[in-house]
Amino acid sequence: MKMVISPAKSLQFDKQLPTTVQTQPHFGEEAKKINVLLKKKSPKELSELMSISDKLAELNWERNQVFQTPESKITARAAVFAFNGDVYQGLDAYTFDKKKIDQMQNQLRILSGLYGLLKPLDIIKPHRLEMGTTFGVGNNKNLYSFWKDKITKQLNAEMEPDELFINLASNEYFSAIDVKELNVEIVSPIFKDFKNGKLKIISFFAKKARGMMARHLIKENASTLEDILSFSSGGYSYSEIESRDTLSPVFVR
């Protein structure tokens, strides 16, 4: 079983790490190529490109100027411990023991606008580049065009034909995969909460639930659809009534 999650805008590079093991990103050279282009952007241009504040634009301009690959272990951090958003709070990778960290490294993949596809322990530099950013690379008018074929081929190379592929990423990032070319079955869990008497997808809760689902699948050494449907963390449970089919299971709370 393999699963993909989105990265996070919020980063954490100071917290003590549970492991010293680090690996190199598969698409390190591609990330370097993108950074060469980002490095040419002024803070003002970055602000307009990413719709971010002047302060954030200045910070990311500084990051772009010192970016380099292959990354130094001193200035970089394993991706799963560097990202610090809602998904990663639900995943809570810092509390995994060595065995589960090894399993996470095998099962989990992180989609990235800069690095394309990351294993959890792949080291990354502080950066900001969302997949949906309209940023051309070479003959590619945007990051989707640049990454789609590369990411899809790499996922196919890593998975067995009968392996389940779990989509726990946002639409923005999952769109970087050419699903028609994937050689495996895709399961896309949906998380809904009751609000004002109705079931709704609430972004904040859904993001954290995706992380909790990833944690559940890693902890249970999951390999089947039944393992997915057994998810019950955070008060969620599988709803057969709300689910249209087994490949889009709905979990409600």
What pLDDT is recorded for position 70?
A: 57
pLDDT tens-digit readout, 178-189: 999 999 999 999
Cβ atoms of residues 214 and 108 within 8 Å: yes
What pLDDT is recorded for position 73?
A: 52
Average model confidence (pLDDT) for the chain?
Answer: 95
pLDDT band of 76, cuts 50, 70, 90: confident
**Number of C-beta neighbours around residue 187 at 10 A:** 19
What average pLDDT does the segment 26-49 reach?
Answer: 96
Question: Does the pLDDT of residue 194 top 80, yes or no?
Answer: yes
Encoding tokens for residue 20? 């010293």
**To the nearest whole percent, how much of the chain has pLDDT over 90?**
93
What pLDDT is recorded for position 162?
A: 87
What pLDDT is recorded for position 74?
A: 56
Percentages of the chain per state (helix, strand, coil), in multiples of 5: 40, 20, 40
Rounded CA separation 241/114 (Å): 39
pLDDT tens-digit readout, 54-72: 999 999 999 999 887 555 5
Helix (H, G, I), strand (E, B) or coil at 53: coil
Question: Does the pLDDT of residue 112 top 80, yes or no?
Answer: yes
Rounded CA separation 193/196 (Å): 10
Cβ atoms of residues 91 and 212 within 8 Å: yes
Cβ atoms of residues 70 and 24 within 8 Å: yes
